Structure 1
Amino acid sequence: PSQAKWRIVFMISAAVYIVCATFYIIFGSGDRQAWDNPDKDEENRKKTKKPVDIEAGSKTIIETQH
């Protein structure tokens, strides 16, 4: 590979980076999303019941009830 070919690779990589960064700047947001709420995660952990052991033949199956 010559220096000219590596320059082409660099230019393509730079163009991809610039396009993606511009897309993020225009459409990206730093706002917390509804699905990312640590307080609600703690509430869900408290609501989760303990696992129940069920024996089926020689295998033990553990199910979690919600």
Structure 2
Amino acid sequence: MKSIQLTIKCMKYAKLTIKSIRKDVKLTITSIKYVKQTIKSIKNVKLTIKSINYIKLTIKFLM
């Protein structure tokens, strides 16, 4: 069970591109501003988008 936590500070635009071959990828994006997200995955992807200024990106890889 690996976990990777990223924190991106952005007030305007953010482009997220995530490529994964893992089985399960859970990501949580928190932002008030515009977010363009492109997610390429072979299996399951769950997205949760909430509010507040910054973009908190949490990626958990379940092995």
Q: Normalising by structure 2, report the TM-score.
A: 0.23
Q: Normalising by structure 1, report the TM-score.
A: 0.22
Higher CA-based Rg: 1
Tell me which protein shows more helix as a share of its residues: 1
Tell me which protein shows more strand as a share of its residues: 2
